[in-house]
Every structure is written in C-alpha cells, then in structure tokens.
Structure 1
Amino acid sequence: MSAHQGAVEQIRRSYAEIPEDATPRLAKATSNLFRFRDTGKAAKLSARDLDEVISVDPVTMTAEVQGMTTYEHLVDATLPYGLMPYVVPQLKTITLGGAVTGLGIESTSFRDGLPHESVEELEILTGDGRVIVARDDNEHRDLFRAFPNSYGTLGYALRIKIRLKPVQPYVKLTHIRFSEADKCMLAMQEICESMRHDGEQVDFVDGVFFGPGELYITVGRFAERAPYTSDYTGMRIYYQSIQKRSRDWLTVRDYLWRWDTDWFWCSRAFGVQQPLVRSLMPRKWMRSDVYRRLVALDRKYGVVARVDRWRDQPVQESVIQDVETPIDRGAEFLSFFHDKVGMTPVWICPLKASSAWPLYPLEPGKLYVNFGFWGMVPLPRGQFDGYYNRLIETAVHDLDGHKSLYSTSFYAREQFWTLYNGDAYWPVKREYDPSGRLLDLYDKCVRGR
C-alpha cells in the first residue's frame, strides 16, 4: 500500500503539471478501445506504476487492485486462493479500471451483472485534480454510481476494492445447438432464470450465432474433477470446437481465457487459423493484445486499404460493436443483422443488472442479451464509412436496446444525452470537473476529440 500511495502522489503531481490548454490522456500499456483518433494537443498522463494487485484477502474474499491492473494479472493472483472476480471480461489485457469505467461483460453476467457491480470502493483522480475515495455509502456516492460508462471523463480509477467469489478447479461445458433464433433465445432465457440445465446448476452462459440455422448456447458449471481437459492455446481453436462437440472440459483458468487466444475468431484475419501459420507462430504471440496492436498499425499505415485498392476490391467499413437488447427482442436483432450486415460469427451473452446505474440505463432485474461482432464489411456502392454502424445504432434503439461506447459512434448530441442520461451525468461532471479539463462523454466517445 505504501508503494501505491507513492504512485498516487506521482500521478497527482503529473496531472497538476499538465498545461490548462492540453487535454489529459491516460497513457496505458494496453488498450481494448476501438476509437483510433488523432489526440492533437492531448498530454499523456503516465499510469505505469498503477498496474499491481495490492492485496488479496481470502477471508473477506476481496482484493485491493490498482486501476491499470489487467484481469490476467488479477486472476493469476486470486486463483491460488480458489477465488476469482465475479465477472472476468473475455480478454486478458482488459484492465479493472477500464472494465469499470467502460463496462465489461462475460458468461457470469446473467447472474452477476457487469464488473462494476462487485466493486465496493473506488479511489479516483478527479477532473479537478483531487484524489477521493468513492463508495455507495459515502458523500461521493453520485460519483461512484456515475463512474460506470463514463470512460475517463469524470476521472481515473487509481485503486479498486473488488469482491471475489469461490471457484472450483474445472469447468464442464455443454454446447447446445439450435436451428432457430427465437427458440435459442427462449431456451437461454429459461436457463438464465432457473440457473439450471438438465438438472444441474449453471455457473456460466454464453453462445454463438454462426448463421440463421446454426446457433449454440454454451452452459458451464464448476467441477472438482474432470475426466480430461482440452487445450485451446495451441493448434486447436476454441470457437470451432463448439460446432464439433457437445461436451468439453477446461481448467478454470483456460475457461476464463478461452476466447483470448484467437481474439474470439478475429485471428483468422491475420492468417493465424491456417495450420501452417499457426504451427510457426509462438504461443506467446497468440493473444488479443498482439492482434490489437496489428490492427492499430494497419489503421496508422492503411495497409489493408491499399491492398484492397490494388485488387480493385470494395471499400470496407469497420463494424466493431457490442450491443444488447431485451432477450425477447434478440431474435429480431439477429434477423436484422444477418439481412443487413451479414457478418458471422456473432457472440451472444446474456446479462442482468442488479441495480440502476445512471449512465448505462439497464432496467434492474431484466434479462438482456449482448451481441458482439467484430470485423470488416464491404460497403455497398455509393455508401460511405459509417453506413453499417448507423444502421445498427438505429436498429438497437428501435428494439429498446443499448450500445457500448468503446468503438465508433455516430449519434447526434441531443440523442446521445437522451440515451446515456445527460441529466445524471452533468451534475456529477460539474461537481468533480468544474473547469472541464477532461473531455465530456459525447466529445470523447462520439466526436473523438
């Protein structure tokens, strides 16, 4: 904790030294955002000394964690105690601060909600340069509740106290195939509400849409023993196994990172799913942060766009989003998405919030289903970048859904503040960043300033 206090003092001083006309930007070793913007006059604020697990308490089942700590680092610290965070986002280098301020989701979200719902305390460097401790029961409650989905526009998480839950060494997986989306959504709803399948308790639920006639729900449950365990960190690919087998077993750690080795299925864009390429690629390079850096390099130098022009291929639009709708509207969204966008696979993950969080207004106790899709789609002739993403935004909100803000957005200002509760945001913004040193949520997530 003394080392943490030194790091806090360092970042506080660094923040105070940033010129008033420069926008502070948190410099992180990794990023899972997909807003590649010109930072202009932004001043980088180093967080290099804020990436450690401070302590794990197996008695109270809590951990004190610095804001830039990755979930990979935290899980490695908690599993030896037989504990894990309630919600572990799918990619190893997502940070706790990022998951809380930018939201996160995983296959425990049908029961445990989003990562911020297991947070007990936040130490925050606010926009006006103060370091405060916010909890749900103290004088900074409004900041504590508004921090999720604020994306660093109210301040930066320096320390997080998070609750943990017990785990068992293995996870038993059952993949259930459906040929119709409406039946898949109905079955998912029944499993999530009963928290049981085939007479057994369910600890994890997610799924994959491979096409209109091929959908899967994957249910998982903890187990003390396993007859075997599969390994999807080498030649074998996890998402492909869903189509090939109905039962599987993983260690709990391999289950938590089952999507990371191939960045779900996005590693195929780099040829990593070709057997020869895969056999030559070091395992340590097969991880989401390596692929993310390759995408950033392509955005910087435009390699793919140049090759497409050389091959006389249509211009492509990046369609990288996570959205959710009420689960009873999920089949409608999949029908729209397949007809208008046509990208596959699509990740499916149910979620339920336990209480109201003002900047991301999910109805407490209501079951939603998240759809994740990440890739490039050729633009129709005569259309311009943003065509597909605007279609998706309109469809999601027509279905009473929501869209995460980690990627590109195209909302008009008035619509944005209606959807993301400007009435709750602005009083907190004025209280903790009265001079507007940090960008506001619209400028950061839509205008990309």
Structure 2
Amino acid sequence: MDRHKTAVARIAAGVRAFYERKEPFRIFHGSTNSTRPIRREREIDISSLRNVLHVDTARRRALVEPNVPMDRLVEATLRHGLVPPVVMEFPGITAGGGFAGTAGESSSFKHGFFDRTIDSVEMVLADGSVVRASETENADLFRGAAGAVGTLGVTTMIELQLVEAKKFVKARYLPQRSVRDAIAAVREETGNLRNDYVDGMLFARDHGVVVTGEMTDETPEMPSQIRTFSGAWDPWFYMHVRDKTKVGASASAQTEYIPLAEYLFRYDRAGFWVGASAFDYFKFPFNRATRWFLDDFLHTRMLYKALHASGESSRYIVQDLALPYATAESFIDYTADKLGIWPLWLCPLQPSPVPTLHPHTLELKSDGVTPEQMLNIGVWGFGPADPEAFVAANRDLEHRLRELGGMKWFYAHTYYSEKEFWSLYDREWYDALRTKYNATSLPSVYDKIRIDVEADRRERTESWGRKIRDIWPLGGLWGIRKAIQSKEYMIHRKSTWKYKA
C-alpha cells in the first residue's frame, strides 16, 4: 500500500499542476480497448497502477488498482476460491476501464454493469484532491463517474465485490431458428434463477443460439464433456457453438462443462469473431491449421494493437448497442439489410438507476429510478471502404438506434452532434457534477468520445503515414509489426488461468 500511496501522490501532483495552469489533460493507462482513434495530447500517466493490492476472503472483497486486467484479476481471486460476479469477456480489459466505461457482460442480466459490483473507488479529482466515493460517501460522484470515461476525475483504486467460484460452468446451447425466437429465449432465460450467465449469437436470420451458464462443482460423467477454448488447437468458441447448432442439426439443447476461467474468456481467441476479418483482409487461407499457426496474433490484446496501428479501425464497424426488447428485432432487421454483418452478439442487461451515462431505456420499473432490462446487440464487421460512406453508415446507424429507443457504448466511433448527444443524456445533472467536483477543466464526455470528422479528413489528405497505411496490404503489415513489437502475445502464453487437466 505504501507504493500505491506514493504513486497516487505523484498523480495528484501532476493533476494539480494542470489544474493550476487551467490546461485540460487526458489519462494514459498503457493500453486501450477503445476503437476510437488514439490522440496523444497532454497526459497523466497512471500505467504503474496495475496491482491487486489485497483479497479479503472473509468479506469477499478485493482492492485493485485501475490498470489490473481481467485475466490477472481472475488469477488472483481464484487462488482464494473467489471470482468477480461480472468479468469482461476480453482478458485485457481493466478494472478501471470497466468502472469508467460501460462493461455489460453475460452475467449483467443478474448483477448489472461491472461498476454495480464495486463498493467504493478512490479518485483524484481534477484539482488534485484525493477522495473516496461510494453509495454512502460522495454518492453522486460514485454513480456519475461510472460510465463518464474519466471526465470527473482519475480512478486510482477500486474495492470490488467477489463471489464463490466453482470449478466449471455447465453450459447449455439452445438452438434458435429465427431472430424473434432468439430474442424471446434470451429474455426467458434471464428469469431462470439457476443461470449465472446468459448471452446469445445470431449467425443468420434462421440460425441463432442462446448460451446459458451455471457455475458448478459437479463433475461431468465423461472427460470428453470438458471443453476448453484457450489452446492453439482448441476451436474458436463461436465456431464451435455455430457448428453444434447449425440448421439441420439437433434442435435440442446441448450441454458441455467448461472450466470457469475458460468460460469467462471464451471469446478471447478471435475477439468473438473479429479475428476472422484479418484472414479476409490478407486473403489468407482460413482453416484449423492456419488458425493454429497464427494463434499468437488472434487474441484480443494483439488484435487491438494491430487494429489501431493498421488504421483499419477507421473502416471497421465495432459497435455495442442496447435496445428495449420490443425494438431489438427491428434493429437487427436494419443491420442485416443495411450492413449485412453477421454474426451478431446478444447480451441481456440490467441497467443502472437513472440519471446515468450508461445505456438505458426510458421505461422504468416500479421503483421509478431503475430502467427496464435491455438487450445489447454487438455489431462488429467491415463497413464501407470509402471513408465518407463509412461515416454516413455510422450516422445512419445512430439515427436508427435513436428512433428505436436505444443507446450505444462510448468505446466506439461516435458521430452524434452535441445537440443529439445531450438529447439522450441528462446534461444538467452531468454539468452540475462537473462543477461540484471541479472537473470543468477536463474534457467533457462528449468532447472525449466524439469523432472529429473534419480532422480525420485533413489527416487523410495531409498525412503521408495515413496515406501509406491506406494502401493494401501495407496498413495490415504495419499493424502486425507493431503488435509483434508490443510482445503482448507473451501475456497469454504465460497465463495461469488456462485449464490443465
């Protein structure tokens, strides 16, 4: 803890200096899972805050610094037979990112967004003061900073809830033969009290699957029923489930036992299905042997490095969009007709009380503050190659989302005008928080997430580096080079969460 206090004091001094000079700044974490363009400006470096400080087994709580990624967090808590109730599917997403951003995962139908499993946070405010925030202390800051992407202060420590871990997740794959049936089945399964995890995938209009998971110490009857997804020769999870539930296969549910951590990070290899796009880009054979050979490059950390360095994030649609169940089918029909992107991810969500910067619906439960459950739809795939057409497609998607009562995640490309953006969120509440906690010198949430279309146009015409990266396959090769230089492939190789029989 002494090292932590020293680091926080250094960060607070740096923040205070920016505040006294009335200069805005951004936070450098050392990594990112955002797909927005990275702009290097005035920064506060908090990359050293990457430690699990303490696991309290009696209280089932963990003290963690914000840059602790999910895989290191899970490894630390599993040693004590515990696990966070909400774990982001990508191992490299950090605890701080889950608090400051929006992290809704397959257990969020039960526990809410990741930040709803946090008891308290330590924050450095924009004036350099250090405060604690929880439901009983600076409660308005605690709720407002969740999802505000660091625009109310710098998170430096998190007190996180834990639950008892079991050895396996008993996974059931429920085949669906229409979009409507899949949506209905997801909603139905959220009411099954035995389920710890619920999500779904749509591979086509007539092929979907709902995946449910129940933590268990039950031992499967046959070793062949234990399935892993972290090894280079293992199948990619989405392909495995797709093949087991394809049209013409059995319509009955199928069951497998997946070691807990293997289940939590089942989408890491291929980044759901985004990794397949790399094969399309390079026009490289896509089969089990090539996936094995290139496995180091096909985990999410490496995919993100390559995506940013290559410049392909400027034409790749990566959007998470939450909608009321009543309009989810209409939105999926829209994406199928306009974008032709498959598969799609379905994840049921229990929204946070309003006001909030998380996605939410205006339909409230009987308590008058908690919105009704929503369905997150993950839309990830190549968009139009022409930059202007790409922007137009994203703008049209945002327009249709608003029509259907939906909201989007802030990690992705955002093209709303300022007026459009604040028609969705409570600006009066947010601005009052910024004033109360001396955060008006920081970039606002809108300033931080919006894509500056004009700046991007100028960069495309004036930057030789950008022009070269736009030439196939130079951008992709540059992305691979930068990913290799990062050596982040070693993180997965050395991970201890991987199952050993």
TM-score, normalisation: structure 1: 0.89
**1:378 correspondence with 2:384:** yes
2:5 aligns to what? Answer: 5
The equivalent residue for 1:207 is 200
SS class of match (1:384): helix
Query: 1: distance between equivalents of 2:344 and 2:451?
Result: 27
TM-score, with normalisation over the residues of structure 2? 0.80
In the aligned structure 1, how far is the partner of 2:384 from the partner of 2:8? 46
Work out whether residues 112 and 353 of structure 1, in 8 Å CA contact, stay in contact via their aligned partners in 2: no
Matched to 1:13, the amino acid is: A
Answer yes or no: is 1:412 the counterpart of 2:424: no
| Residue 371 (structure 1) shift | 0.7
Residue 184 (structure 1) aligns with: 182
Distance 1:365 1:413 in 2: 24
Cα distance in 1 for partners of 2:355, 2:58 equals: 29
Match of 1:269 in 2: 277
Partners of 2:276 and 2:92 in 1: CA distance: 20
Of 273, 294, 310, the residue aligned with 1:298 is 310
Is the aligned partner of 1:444 residue 2:448? yes
CA contact (8 A) 2:359 2:409 kept: no
Corresponding residue number in structure 1 for 2:354: 356
Which range is displaced more, 222-231 or 390-399? 222-231
**Deviation string for 1:160-183 (max 9, x for gaps)?**
111111121001111111111112
How much has 1:280 moved relative to structure 2? 2.3
- Once residues 227 and 46 of structure 2 are traced to their aligned partners in structure 1, the CA distance between those partners, rounded to angstroms, is 37
- Cα distance in 1 between the residues matched to 2:215 and 2:335: 33
* 2:270 partner letter: D
How many corresponding residue pairs?
A: 424
Task: Give yes or no for contact 1:358–1:424 (8 Å, CA) kept in 2.
Answer: no
Residue matched to 2:132: 133
Quick check: 2:322–2:359 contact (8 Å CA) kept in 1? no
Q: What is the aligned partner in structure 2 of residue 432 from structure 1?
A: 437
Q: Is the 8 A contact 1:359 1:424 kept in 2?
A: no
* AA at the equivalent of 1:269: S
2:321 and 2:406 in contact (8 A); partners too: yes
What does 1:332-371 align with in structure 2 at a 5 Å threshold? 332-353=330-351, 355-360=353-358, 362=360, 363=364, 364=370, 366-371=372-377
Which letter maps to 1:114?
F
Give, in whole Å, the separation in 2 of the partners of 1:37 and 1:63. 31
Q: 1:256, CA displacement in angstroms?
A: 0.5
- Tell me, in whole angstroms, the C-alpha distance in 2 between the residues paired with 1:386 and 1:220: 38
Report deviation, 1:60: 0.7
- Hey, what's the Cα distance between the residues in 2 that align with 1:30 and 1:422? 29
Secondary structure, aligned partner of 2:383: strand
2:52 and 2:64 in contact (8 A); partners too: yes
**Distance of 1:376 and 1:165 partners within structure 2:** 38
Partner of 2:93: 94
Secondary structure of the structure 2 residue equivalent to 1:45:
strand
Partner of 1:394: 399
Aligned partners of 1:360 and 1:173: how far apart in 2? Answer: 29
Q: 1:219 aligns with which of 202, 212, 221?
A: 212
Amino acid at match of 2:168: Y
In the alignment, the residues of structure 1 paired with residue 287 and residue 344 of structure 2 have an alpha-carbon distance, to the nearest angstrom, of 21
Map Cα deviations across residues 132-167 of structure 1 (whole Å, 9 max, x no partner): 1111112x1111110112111111110011111112
Cα distance in structure 2, aligned partners of 1:383 and 1:158: 39
Match of 1:230 in 2: 227
1:198 aligns with none
Name the CA distance, whole Å, in 1 between partners of 2:47 and 2:416.
Answer: 34
Going from structure 1 to structure 2, the CA distance change for 1:282 and 1:317 (only over 3 Å counts) comes to: closer
* Aligned-pair CA distance for 1:83: 1.3
SS in 1 for 2:99: helix
**Cα shift at 1:383:** 5.5
The aligned counterpart of 2:61 is 62
The one-letter code of the counterpart of 2:441 is R
Q: Cα offset for 1:260? A: 0.8
Please state whether the residue corresponding to 2:450 is helix, strand or coil: helix
Contact kept, 8 Å, 1:20 with 1:437, in 2: the verdict is no
The answer to whether the 8 Å contact 1:148/1:357 transfers is no
1:359, 1:14 → 2: CA distance?
27
Give the equivalent residue in structure 2 for 1:85: 84
CA distance in structure 1 between the aligned counterparts of 2:175 and 2:150, rounded to whole angstroms: 40
Secondary structure of 1:320's counterpart equals: strand
Give 1:288's match in structure 2, choosing from 291, 295, 300.
Answer: 300
Quote the Cα distance in structure 1 between the aligned partners of 2:269 and 2:184: 30
1:48 match: secondary structure: coil
Aligned to 1:38: 39
Task: Work out the CA distance in 1 between the residues paired with 2:260 and 2:378.
Answer: 23
**3-state SS of paired residue (1:429):** helix
SS of equivalent residue, structure 1 residue 76: helix
- What percentage of residue pairs aligned between the two structures are identical? 25
> Per-residue deviation at 1:17?
3.9
Unmatched segments (≥5 aa) in structure 1 = 196-200, 306-315
Residue matched to 1:312: none
Deviation for aligned residue 1:270: 2.4
* Aligned equivalents of 2:438, 2:412: Cα separation in 1: 24
Quote the Cα distance in structure 1 between the aligned partners of 2:151 and 2:451. 14
392-401 or 361-370: bigger deviation: 361-370
1:356 positional shift: 3.2
Q: Structure 1 residue 353: deviation in Å?
A: 2.6
SS in structure 2 at match of 1:218: strand
Instruction: Provide closer, same or farther for how the CA distance between residues 373 and 251 of structure 1 changes in structure 2, counting only shifts above 3 A.
Output: same
Secondary structure at the aligned position of 1:172 is classed as: strand
1:358 to partner: Cα distance: 2.2
CA distance in 2, matches of 1:327, 1:86: 24
> Which whole-Å deviations, capped at 9, do the CAs of 1:87-107 have from their partners, x for residues lacking one?
111111111111111110111
SS in 1 for 2:390: coil
